[in-house]
A and B are shown apart, each in its own frame.
Chain A
Amino acid sequence: MNKELRESILKSLKEGIRFDGRKLDEFRKIEVETGSINTAEGSAHVKIGNTEVLAGIKLQIEEPYPDTPDEGMMMVGMELLPLANPEFESGPPTEEAIEISRVIDRGIRESKCIDMKKLNVKKGEKSWAVMVDIAPINDAGNLLDAGSLAAILALKNTTMPEFDGEKIDYKKKTSKKLPLGKLPVSVTIAKIGDYFIVDPSSEEEEALDAKLTVASLDDGTLCAMQKAGYKPLSEDDIMKMIDMSLKAAKKLRVYHEKA
């Protein structure tokens, strides 16, 4: 960890201001666009400050898992492309990439926002598999929240291709959307010293002690959590971070309607 960086970040936090001039609970500028990738069944392009991610949905027909023969499937993958950050390397997914993918996956899965039963075509034989792939273009911090927002917007944007019972015709899109219910929002709160911040930048990520990602629904139900970073958190810390996350989630939820 870069000691000087951490000290100067702490110094400015003491004055109630972030390294880049933001308030503690302030996001960077958010821009969203959906449907810009026409090869995907659904897509979203999300920018949070200089952090930029693409999410695309591909649908395919597969045999359901033996323990859920009457349900569809979903998979979330974020590959940390070496294009997006000089620290990322080519090769098999790193632990970091696997963690981000799994935390986003859990947020979507545990919120039950996709009605998996409706994705079953023939019990025990055929179900729709929803493949959510997220690609970072530029990593300026907080890829997780950006990726999660992009994934949800891409799911909302998805239209089903035509399926005749045997083969999918990807060229023919129907007007049918995915069976979606209440949508989750993931917000990561970082802890640096005694301070809590939303939407950490690259510099803040380098200096943080711990962070907590909370996925929640609009009624305040928590549906997934993950603590990261190497310092422990007190119960009091955790409660504060959850409150802050729920508050911030309201700001992100606005973008569900915009796209």
Chain B
Amino acid sequence: MVYKERLNKRGFDEPRKIEAKTGVIKKADGSAYFRIGNTAAYAAVYGPRDLYPKFLQNPKEGILRCKYNMMPFSGRGERVRPGPSRRSREISLVTERALLPVLNLEDFPNAVVDVFIELPQTEAGSRCAGICAASMALADAGIPMKGMVSAVSVGRVDDKILVDLDYTEESYEGGPVADIPIAIVHETGQFSLLQMDGCITKDMLSKAFELGKKVCAKIYEAQKQAIKDRYKIGDDK
């Protein structure tokens, strides 16, 4: 069987519809909302603020702490039980690693920058949506940054190389599948997140990376625009 056509006639190099907003949570020091297709993520940044317990403090520079969480009603099937799971803890960790390379926390010794990522609705690609939102929220909070991080999943379904897999593609059973979430630092082109589930050849992987870079550039534009929109003249936000 050959994978011929994507849901809603989407092109193989085409991401789902993207929506990006910043400043959506008034209480936070910085915040953002990022939506790709049916997957939506809120991110709120608090800090730099004092870090407790004290033994976690680093006198050389501030630390970044990310928390990824799915809301109980955010999954298509059964209710997601509240509280951290093995999956959400791993995603929190790789999210931290994806974002840390662009941050400059030297000016904040002993402090913490907290990033809370909450997903009200998910349908594949939630860690990438979370990273996109978090990166915008950090910029919105005025944390010194060397660049912006954009993330998307790439991969293969059967013989096709594609970007931004949806749920039906992740769980496709007609042939081999690879799901590869990546995050790219726009300014340097380097990868700060790379994971893979599935199997793929080296040739296919580099083709997938090419598509991923193009889509990340597109996501970057949406992120940049959302941050700019926040400071439009005449806007009372």
Contacts and interface: CB of A to CB of B under 8 A. Distances in A.
Interface of A: 37-40, 43, 50, 52, 54, 56-58, 60, 77, 79, 81-86, 90, 92, 131, 133, 135, 137-140, 170-171
A131 B75 CA distance: 13
Which of the four size classes fits the interface of chain B? 20 to 34
Interface string B133-170: 00000000000000000000000000000000000000
Contacts, number: 92
Contacts of B83: 92
Given A39-B76, A50-B27, A86-B27, 13 more contacts: A37-B121, A39-B123, A50-B26, A52-B25, A60-B78, A79-B82, A81-B116, A82-B114, A133-B71, A137-B42, A138-B26, A138-B27, A170-B78
B114 to A, nearest CB: 7
Interface of B: 24-28, 38, 42-44, 46, 49, 67, 69, 71-79, 82-84, 114, 116-118, 120-123
B109 to A, nearest CB: 20
Contact of B69 (A39, A81, A171): A81
Given A135-B120, A138-B25, A77 B76 contact: no
Contacts of A77: 72, 82
Contact of B72 (A52, A83, A131): A131
B221 to A, nearest CB: 26
29 contacts: A37-B73, A39-B75, A39-B76, A50-B26, A54-B120, A56-B72, A56-B73, A58-B72, A77-B72, A77-B82, A81-B69, A82-B44, A83-B42, A83-B44, A84-B27, A133-B71, A133-B82, A135-B72, A135-B118, A135-B120, A137-B24, A137-B25, A137-B118, A138-B25, A138-B26, A139-B27, A170-B76, A170-B77, A171-B76
A83 B116 contact: yes
Contacts of A40: 73-74, 121
Nearest to B49: A86
A83 B79 contact: no
Given A56-B74, A137-B42, A131 B25 contact: no
Top 4 closest pairs, chain A to chain B, by CB: A56-B73, A58-B79, A40-B73, A133-B72
Nearest to B65: A90
Contacts of B121: 37-40
Nearest to A75: B79
Contacts of A170: 76-78
Nearest to A85: B27
Contact of A37 (B69, B116, B120): B120
Contacts of A135: 71-72, 118, 120
Contacts of B26: 50, 138, 140
A39 B73 contact: yes
Contacts of A90: 67, 84
Nearest to A50: B26
Contacts of A39: 38, 73-76, 121-123
